[in-house]
Amino acid sequence: MAIKEAIARGARRQVRGALTPLRRDVRRLRQSVRDLRVQLDRLRDIASRWEASASSQGWQPAVSEEEAQAARLSPGLIRKLRGRLRLSQAAVARLVGVSPAAVVQWEQGRSAPAGKNRAMLVGLRRLGRRQIRRILASLPDGAAPGRPAGRGRKARGAGRRTRGGGRSGRPGRRARV
């Protein structure tokens, strides 16, 4: 019995001596796993912010200023482009970042796209239907590239005057509401 207890004590001492450094290593590894999880959470947060900012910017064409200026954009060509891509005027407006009324004006020849809008239209020429559908699907609803979601123009009729020299141009006439 005494020999058995002496052997057990010796074995416990040997096990304790071997386990102590291993327990320290396990504690250190658990701490490093905690630190890595915190870092991962921070990186995920940063990545989500980047995604949000990238999606708010929307699609950007790979067209230089010189290419945009040199490109021929007549009202008929804009209409044909829209027909080839099978897009509505509202969809083109959403892709370019303008109002649908601006696209109507371009197609009727009353105005011409300039600057960034011209570059966007020239960039649309290089894309196919599938690419356009993907871009439209990635845009947040109601938002155009470069314009934050939920910020649009005032509703039609907002700010109209009702008496005396209103928008009708005739003094004393009521404007339609």
Based on the structure, what is the number of domains in the chain?
A: 2
Domain check: are 18 and 80 in the same one? no
pLDDT value of residue 56: 60
Answer yes or no: is 164 within a domain.
no
Distances in Å between the Cα of 149 and the Cα atoms of 18, 106, 139, 142 are: 62, 24, 9, 6
Answer yes or no: is 167 within a domain.
no
pLDDT value of residue 141: 66
Answer yes or no: is 177 within a domain.
no
pLDDT value of residue 95: 86
Answer yes or no: is 159 within a domain.
no
pLDDT tens-place values along the chain, 177 residues long: 889 999 999 999 999 999 999 999 999 999 999 999 999 999 999 988 877 666 666 667 777 788 878 888 889 988 998 999 999 999 999 888 889 999 999 999 999 888 888 888 888 888 888 888 888 887 766 544 444 444 445 555 555 555 555 455 555 555 554
Domain check: are 94 and 36 in the same one? no
Answer yes or no: is 126 within a domain.
yes
pLDDT value of residue 160: 52
Distances in Å between the Cα of 56 and the Cα atoms of 123, 132, 146 are: 18, 17, 7
pLDDT value of residue 23: 93
Reported pTM: 0.49
Distances in Å between the Cα of 118 and the Cα atoms of 30, 61, 66, 87, 176 are: 57, 10, 11, 17, 35
Answer yes or no: is 82 within a domain.
yes
Q: Shortest CA distance to 92 belongs to which of 51, 125, 57, 64?
A: 125
- List the domain range (segments joined by +) for residue 71: 65-138
Domain check: are 131 and 74 in the same one? yes
Domain check: are 50 and 99 in the same one? no
Domain check: are 48 and 78 in the same one? no
d(CA 111, CA 131): 28
pLDDT value of residue 68: 79
